[in-house]
Structure 1
Amino acid sequence: MLFGKIDYLNLLPFHVFLKRYPLSNQAKKSIEFKKGTPAKLCQALNKRQIDAAIISSIESRNPKYTKLNLGICSKGAVKSVLVRKNSEKKLDPASKSSNMLSKILKLDGEVIIGDEALRQYLKDGGDKFYDMGEIWYQKTNLPFVFGLFCCSKNQNLYKKIINKFLKQKIKIPKYILDEYAKSRNISASLILWYLEHISYSVNNKEKRALKKFIHLAKKHNFKP
């Protein structure tokens, strides 16, 4: 089991779940070792350096991958996938999906994702940014899938893990919240507030949204 980990707050509940799940110590160490951004994990999965990860959703159409029903999704504002208003146009190398979404939505400015985006949102205020999850929802009445769980082998094992995760409500222990609050310089209460904007089940609406996104990306000459 070689699972690549996105070490962002948006997947904190899943990583808490994995800590408790009965995996071997070697598997758990491997998860901590194989950390990266969504874009880097796309490359690692493609090169078979890992066998599963939540990767940029735009890369999930690769026919080599088995797609499972776990993703990083939002039904409206997401607070951590942003374009800064009145700024020089700049893409974020960490996420292919977010960069393409900014083009589809015709938003000019600096693309910022992940924990750094959330920090800047909290520091500068929401009026300084376009929230791409919110704008996508306003235009399509659909959620957005920023990342999707894909694997190249061990599909049955991953499917079992994911199905169990999606059936549970995960409570994050205080000591873990405090650790992340300190390392991210974001208060524990704001981390919990932020996680209310994230969902993980990829159901019919999410699948429709992803299909629409990839269709629009093709019009912009995206070639994964």
Structure 2
Amino acid sequence: MKIGEIRYANVYPIFYYLKKIKEYDFVRGTPSFLNKMIREGGVDVGVCSSIEYARNPGKYVIIPDISISSVGDVKSVCLFSSRKIENLENATVFLTEESGTSVVLLKILLKYYFNVKVSFTNNFDDSDAVLLIGDKALFSYYNNDYKYVYDLGFHWFQFSGYPFVFALWISDSKWEGTEDIKRLHKNLVNIKVDSQKNLAALLEEYSFKGLTSYQILDYWDIINYNLTEKHICGLIKFYKLAREIGEIKKFPPLNLSV
């Protein structure tokens, strides 16, 4: 079984333990790259952008009980700006190409929460504000690279009252009901619990240039790996709003099964 591995700090604790099982092959990449890989059959299972599932729900099965989420602050999905967000009306915002979910989330928050109209660009240098995710966002968050930082996890929670599910563990639907996927689900659930018990021990094999050990632990402590009823409610709200703004064609059925 080939598993897509996001190369960000947010999921390092999960993959640290998953790789110790020694029965899986891993393909590393950004969320957008891994979305393409699982869509085209390059990997069998992946922790993929939640918007990828919504755009191709017939191809996938959601592995229950685990995700990459935030309940409030996330720190690694942020809009960085030299101006307050209310002063970004008609401004130009750079959108990262590394993630689809965060781009859609930003568009939803700008429309329904901040009530600010902007234009988007893929030119980093010709922008008034930038959307960054993953380790790039985390570095800028902790190193005060910008005057104003808008944490999208925090603002989604203020807006909706629900956790935000950035990524789901999904598999190609052909794996549904197999012993392999059932075993992976069991392994992931166990790892989810065990990985939070001694985060400090992971620092012996992990470093992030530009962040202190305290900052890394602080970040790992806020990342949420659950997929509870409240997470599902947040996911449903996200999908409904994504459909309203034309980012998905229709609301996807949620197939949580192993």
- Compute the TM-score of the two structures, normalised by the length of structure 2: 0.77
In structure 2, distance between residues paired with 1:163 and 1:129: 33
Do 1:3 and 1:50's aligned partners in 2 also have CA atoms closer than 8 Å?
Answer: yes
Question: Is the Cα–Cα contact under 8 Å of residues 94 and 131 in structure 2 kept in the other structure?
Answer: yes
Q: Deviations over 1:19-45 (max 9, x none)?
A: 333x33xx3xx32xx101111111100
Partner of 1:207: 232
The alpha carbon displacement at 1:88 in A equals 3.8
| Rounded Cα–Cα distance in structure 1 between residues aligned with 2:138 and 2:189 | 28
**Other structure's SS at 2:143 match:** helix
Matched positions, count: 215
SS of the residue corresponding to residue 46 of structure 2 reads: strand
Q: Which has the larger radius of gyration?
A: 2
Q: Distance in 1 between matches of 2:103 and 2:154?
A: 15
Structure 1 residues 39 and 202: CA distance shift in structure 2, 3 A: same
2:76 to 80, 103, 123: 80
- Give the distance between the partners of 1:163 and 1:11, measured in 2 at CA: 14
Structure 1 runs of 4+ off > 4 angstroms?
none
1:58-91 deviation line (CA, Å, top 9, x unaligned): 1123221110121111100111100012374111
Of 159, 162, 173, which aligns to 2:188?
162
Higher strand residue share: 2
152-161 or 63-72, which moves further after superposition?
152-161
Query: 2:32 maps to which residue?
Result: 39
Where does structure 1 lack aligned partners over 5 or more consecutive residues?
A: none
Which residue does the alignment assign to 1:145?
Answer: 165
2:15 paired residue number: 15
Q: Which runs of 5+ in 2 are unaligned?
A: 84-90, 119-128, 250-258
Shift of 1:214: 0.8
> 2:108 corresponds to which residue?
104
Partner Cα separation in structure 2 for residue 141 and residue 127 of structure 1 = 27
CA contact under 8 A between 2:6 and 2:29: conserved in structure 1? yes
Secondary structure of the structure 2 residue equivalent to 1:90: strand
Letter of the structure 1 residue corresponding to residue 234 of structure 2? A
- Aligned-partner residue type, residue 16 of structure 2: V
Q: What is the TM-score of this pair, normalised by structure 1?
A: 0.88
CA distance in 2 between counterparts of 1:110 and 1:179 reads: 31
